[in-house]
Structure 1
Amino acid sequence: MPLRHDIRRGALMMLAATALFTVMSAIIKGVSSEIHFIEIMFFRSAFALPVMIAMAARGRNWAALRTKRPGGHVLRAFTGTMAQGCSFFALTVLPLAEQTALTYTTPLFVTILSIPFLGEKVGIHRWSAVLFGFGGIMVIALGDGAFQAGAMPTGIVAVGMAVAVIQGAWSAITTLLVRSLSATESSTTIVLWQSLLMTLFTLVALPFIWTTPSLWEFILLVLVGLIGGVAQVLLTEAYASAQVSALGPYSYTSILWSVAIGWVVFSDVPSWSTVAGAAVIVASGLYILHRELKRAAMRRNQ
C-alpha cells in the first residue's frame, strides 16, 4: 500500500497521469478523422480493462468486483460515458489546447451542482469564482481562438465548444457520484466497474458506426485504451498518496502538455484568447479549491 499523505509521490503520479491523458487525447484527435468518436470510446474502455484487471490481480483484490451498489455504478458509468463522448467529439473539431482549457469547467459545475446534489450552501466568494470562470469561457468563445481550426466551418467549431462545456457538466455529475460511491466502495471497484460498463455501453452502438481500422489505426486505438488505463491507475495511485485538495493544482499542467503537443504535432499555435481564457478558468478553479480548503479547516476547528 502506498504511504498516505506523501505529497511528492502524489504530485509525481498526478503529473505523469495528466501527461499520459494528454498524449491519449492527441492520439484520439489524430485518428478521429477516419474513425467515429464512439468507436474510439469503445477501444478506450475495452483496452483499459486489461490494465485495470492487472491492477486488481497485482493486489489479489478480486473482491473489488463485488459490489452492493450496482445501480450506483451503472449511473456513474452512464454519466462518465456522456462526459467522455462530449470530450472525444470536441477533440474532433477543436484545437487540443482549446479543448483541454474547456474541460477545466468541471470544478465550476461541481460548485453549482453541489447545491441540489449535496445541499451545500455556496457563498459569494465561490459564486464570484464561478462567474469569473464562465467569463473565461466567453473569452475563448468570442476571441479568435474559436476560429483557428481553419478548414472547419465556424458553426461546427461553435458546436464543438458548446459540447466541450457540456462535458464539464457531465464530468461534474460524475465527480459527485464518485464521491457518493467512495463512501462504501474502493477506488479499484469504482474504476473496474467504470471500464466494464462503459465498454458495454459503447459496444451497443458499435454496429451502427463501425469503421474497420487499418493496422496502424488499430495499433493507435489499442494505445488509446492502454495509455488511458495506465493514466487512470496513476491517477488512482496519486489520490491514494496525498489529499485530493493538495493535488488539484497539478492537474492543470495538462494545458502545458496540450499546448506543446498541439504545437508540435498539429501545428496549432494557441491564440491570445485561448491562453487568456484558460488562465481565467484555471484561476477560478484554484480559487474554488482555496475556498473549499478554508471551509474544511473551519469545520475542523468548530
Structure 2
Amino acid sequence: MSFQLPAGPLRGIVCKICSVTLFVAMQAAIKMAGAGVAAGQITFYRSAFALFPIFLYLAWLGELRTGFVTTHVFGHVKRGMIGIASMGCGFYGLVHLPMPDAIAMGYAMPLIAVILAAVFLKEEVRLYRWSAVGLGLFGVIIISWPKLTMFSHDGFGSQAAVGTVAVLVSACLAAGAMLQVRQLVQTEKTATIVLYFSIIAALMSLLTLPFGWEALISSQFFYLALAGFFGGFGQILLTESYRHADISTVAPFEYSSILFGSLLGYAFFGDVPSLHTLAGTLIVAGSGIFIILRERQLGLERQAEKKAASPNG
C-alpha cells in the first residue's frame, strides 16, 4: 500500500519544503564551484542541467510529446527574462557573500512584492502592511550594512558590497517572477512552465559567453551540473506547490531555508551567521510572515463579503 498526500494545501506545503531544501543544496553546490566562475556561466549550467530532471518528470507523466504545448508563449518569455536576471544577480551575490547572509537578504522578496503590487497593480495596501514592509526593509539594512563597507577604503566597489546589491536586485526581480508564475499555473502544466523557463534561461545566459567565462576544472563542472539537477527538481516542486495551495499558505515555509542554509554554510564553508545577520533575519522573517498572514486574512474577508452579497449567500 503506497502513501500519497491528498491534493490540496498539505501537498503544496510538502512540495514547498522539499523545494526549499533542494534550492539550498543548489546554492551550496554553486558556492563549492568557486568564486571565479562568472554569474552568466553559473546560470547557463544551472538552467541547462535542470532540463534533465524536467524531461524525466515529463517521461514519468507520459507527457514528453505535450510538454512543449502552450497557449502563453509570451508569458513564458516574460517569466524567463525576469527569472534569468534574478538568477544571475542572485548567483553573483551568493559566491561573494556568506551563505546565511545571501539567503537572509533574499527574504526581502515578499516585502518588495507588496510594493510592486501597490505601484503596478494598484492594489490597496493599508497601514498594517506598510508598517510591516518598512520594518522588514529595516531588517534588510541591518543585515546588509556591514557588507557595504561604506566607510572603508574599498567603499561600494568591494565584492561584498556589490554582492549585497546584487542579492537585493535579485529579490526585486524574483518578486515579479513569482507573480508571473502564479498567473501561468492557471492554464499551464507545471513541467511546461519549468521546461520553457530552463530553455529560455539557458539560451539567454549564452549571450554572456564573451564576457568572462572560465575553463572549468572537473570538480567545478560536477558542482555546477549538480546545481542544475537540484535546481530543476526544486523548480518543479516549487511550481507544483503553487498549484495545490495559495501563495499565502506556502510562502511562510520559505523561511525554513535559513536553518538549512546555516547548517550547510557552517558544515562546508565555515560560515557562522553574525549578530547583524541573526537580528536582521528575525526582523525580516517576522515582517514577511505578518504580511503573508495579513494577506490571507484579507482574502478570507473578501470571500465572506462576496458570499454575503451573493443572491444565494
Q: TM-score, normalised by structure 2?
A: 0.88
- CA distance in 2 between counterparts of 1:178 and 1:237 reads 11
Match of 2:297 among 281, 289, 294: 294
Give the alignment partner of residue 93 of structure 2, picking from 90, 104, 107.
Answer: 90
Determine which of 219, 222, 229 is the counterpart of 2:222.
Answer: 219
Select 1:251's aligned residue among 246, 249, 254.
254
1:20 paired with 2:58, answer no
Deviates more, 1:53-62 or 1:233-242: 233-242
Shift of 1:268: 1.4
Confirm or deny: 8 A CA contact 1:46 1:225 kept in the other structure: yes
Query: Which deviates more from structure 2 when the two are superposed, residues 212-221 or residues 230-239?
Result: 230-239
Amino acid aligned to 1:197: I
Opposite residue 273 of structure 1, the aligned amino acid is H
Corresponding residue number in structure 1 for 2:8: 5
Q: Select which of 142, 145, 153 maps to 2:145.
A: 142
CA distance in 2, matches of 1:3, 1:41: 35
CA-atom RMSD in angstroms = 2.0
Does the CA-based 8 Å contact 1:2-1:241 persist in structure 2?
Answer: no
Distance in structure 2 (CA, Å) of the matches to 1:191 and 1:141: 31
What displacement does 1:2 show?
6.4
Q: Which residue of 2 aligns with 1:205?
A: 208
Q: Cα deviation per residue 1:30-73 (whole Å; 9 max; x = unaligned)?
A: 21323222111101000001111221222122323122222221
In structure 2, the partner of 1:273 is 276
Choose the corresponding residue for 2:45, options 34, 43, 50.
43
Partner residue, 1:132: 135
Alignment match of 1:67 (pick from 66, 70, 80): 70
Q: Counterpart of 1:213 in 2: which secondary structure?
A: coil
Q: Which amino acid aligns with 1:263?
A: Y
- 1:140–1:146 CA contact under 8 A, matched in 2: no
Select 2:232's aligned residue among 229, 232, 255: 229
Q: Supply the distance in 1 between the matched residues of 2:24 and 2:89 (Cα, whole angstroms).
A: 16
Q: Is the 8 A contact 1:4 1:242 kept in 2?
A: no
Structure 2 segments unaligned to the other structure (5+ residues): 306-313
Quote the offset at 1:241 in angstroms. 4.1
2:15 corresponds to which letter in structure 1?
Answer: M
The alpha-carbon distance between structure 1 residues 88 and 236, as it changes in their structure 2 partners (threshold 3 A), is same
Bigger CA radius of gyration: 2
Are the aligned partners of 2:137 and 2:284 in contact in 1 as well (CA < 8 Å)? yes
Q: Which amino acid aligns with 1:185?
A: E
Residue correspondences, number: 296
Q: How far apart are residue 128 of structure 1 and its match?
A: 0.6
- Is 1:282 aligned to 2:299, yes or no? no
Equivalent position of 2:126 in the other structure: 123
Identity of aligned pairs, percent? 34
Gaps of 5+ in 1: none
Q: Which amino acid aligns with 1:258?
A: G
TM-superposed CA distance for 1:207, in Å, is 4.2
